[in-house]
Amino acid sequence: MKLFRILAVLIAAVCIFAVPGISDSAQAAKTISITVATDATWPPMEMVDENKNIVGFDIDFLTAVAQEAGFEVTFKNTAWDGIFAGIAAGKYDAIISSVTITEERQKTMDFSVPYINAGQILVVPKTSTASKLADLKGEKVGAQIGTTGAFEIKKTDGVELKAYDEIGLAFEDMAAGRIGGVVCDTPVAANYALQREEYREKFKIVGEPFTDEYYGVVVRKGNKKLLDLINKGIKAVQAKGINKQLEQKWLR
């Protein structure tokens, strides 16, 4: 009888002390962990560094979103040509890869709220006093042929468009002093002006994007639970200004 009582006391004690542990485990089990695809070939938004880590604005941004919303994220380097088919097939939970929100894409996938405007922006030599496209009146400004940037230059009085088959040629001409500026997508501008050793001491990005081209995080059509969670994190990151800090780090 005494032995039975001792065992009963021991079992009760174990149960008492085990409850918090069980609770913690249950709580941990509720933590959402998602896999996110990205085509890490688009610096400075997403790329692979010298240590073979996936880095870039999008990576830092979604990591911050996950922290704010209380979920965990793992990134999966995925080729662009199959990235949308992969989410439809359930190979991953979301995509963050400089994906522009368009009406056509919204028919087959769901997007988060926009997280950055990657529209056209102006790059000039560091010695330039220009802060906007109109300040380059009387000069030639480069853009890739047929792009939104080329159309914007054409609309600006007194500024002459010099069109190029490939945007890198425009930056070469600006480095040589043959044109006064280049208009291109914000991530492209950041890549040439900030990431490339041959140009980072020569060029600067000025002003704000003057066209709208919003990026969003993609989830499978109808996955409202995950979409709401991601949107919650994005709004928190934007409210705290974390997105602006990341723009300064990667895009300015």
The pLDDT of residue 21 is above 90? no
The pLDDT of residue 14 is above 70? no
pLDDT at 45: 94
Residues 214-230 have pLDDT tens digits of 999 999 999 999 999 99
Is 31-117+215-250's fold the same as 120-206's? Answer: yes
What confidence category does residue 112 fall into, taking pLDDT thresholds of 50, 70 and 90? very high
Q: What is the mean predicted confidence (pLDDT) over 138-157?
A: 93
pLDDT at 148: 85
pLDDT at 28: 42
The pLDDT of residue 78 is above 80? yes
The pLDDT of residue 84 is above 60? yes
- Angstrom distance (rounded) from CA 109 to CA 115: 17
The pLDDT of residue 3 is above 80? no
Q: Which fold has domain 31-117+215-250?
A: D-Maltodextrin-Binding Protein; domain 2 (3.40.190)
Residues 127-142 have pLDDT tens digits of 999 999 999 999 999 9
- Using the structure block, give the residue that is written with the tokens 């030599």: 125
> How many percent of the chain have pLDDT more than 70?
88
Domain 120-206 superfamily per CATH: Periplasmic binding protein-like II (3.40.190.10)
pTM of the model: 0.78
Residues 23-77 have pLDDT tens digits of 333 344 458 999 999 999 888 999 999 999 999 999 999 999 999 999 999 999 9
The pLDDT of residue 99 is above 80? yes
pLDDT at 20: 42
Q: Where are the domains of the chain?
A: 31-117+215-250, 120-206
pLDDT at 6: 41
